[in-house]
Structures are given as C-alpha cells and as structure tokens.
Copies of this chain bind each other. A is one copy, B any other.
C-alpha cells in the first residue's frame, strides 16, 4: 500500500469526523440547545461520571484550571450545572448537572446516535458492525477531545 492511499484514509477520517461534529451541533440546535459548543459536551461527559471538580475537569479537557473555571461559570449561568460544596474538602466544589444539563447531554447523545445510524444505513448492518469493531480496536487511551 502506498502513502497516498494512507493519506486518502486520513482525509476520509477527517471528513467523517466533520460529519459527526456537525451532526451533533445541528441536532442540539434543533433541540433548542444553541448555546453549547462541543467543548461543553466533553465537559458534560466528565461531570456525568461523577465526583468532578474544576481541576478534574481541566485535566480531562486538557486546558488550564482557569479556563475550566470560566467554562464552568458560563455553564452554571446558563443553567446547565451547579456547584455544591465538597463534603470532605472545604476548598473544592463538586460539579453536578442540572436537569437541563442532563437533557442537553441526552440530546447530544441522541444527535450523535442519529448521525452514526445514518452511517449504518449507508453501509448496511454487516459493514457497519465491522467498522465499529475496527474502530474500537484502534482506540488507545488518551485524550478524547480532538481540538486544534
């Protein structure tokens, strides 16, 4: 196999990712969540996992704790999350999604699933399952958020 064929796959994966991100963004907008960016979605993932503080979130997102603090402040103002005092640490504040935050998360998941289901329709069940399995094989531990 030649490099230009490898390159073709590289471009393909970029375009497919673009489809996914656009699909999520548009799906969220259709559901009335037009004030969230993908970064917020990645934050929701970490917060949903529980026991998240601002510093935890910063590590997860790969940004400074100040940036994470600003992001949390915005999401709190917009009613997506609340900050509660940490039960065992007077310095820390536990992050938790509000009902609106949970609704937004479910909306993002639904929009993502829609886009992926479209792939399944295009490919057929068999090829899609193969794709899913193959992608799962390629996943290595590391950052989720593909930002640049």
Q: Please give the residue numbers on chain A whose beta carbons come within 8 Å of chain B beta carbons, in ascending order.
A: 1, 3, 5-22, 25, 37-39, 109-110, 112-113, 115-117, 119-120, 122-123, 125, 127-132, 134-140, 142-146, 148
Contact = CB atoms under 8 A, between A and B. Distances in A.
A18 B62 CA distance: 13
A121 B71 CA distance: 39
Contacts of A129: 1
29 contacts: A1-B129, A3-B110, A3-B113, A6-B112, A7-B109, A7-B112, A7-B116, A8-B136, A10-B20, A11-B144, A12-B136, A13-B16, A13-B17, A14-B20, A14-B146, A15-B140, A16-B138, A17-B146, A18-B143, A18-B144, A18-B145, A18-B146, A21-B148, A39-B148, A122-B137, A123-B137, A123-B138, A127-B130, A146-B146
State the number of copies, please: 2
Interface of A is mostly: helix
A132 B19 contact: no
Contacts of A127: 130, 134, 137
B134 A131 contact: yes
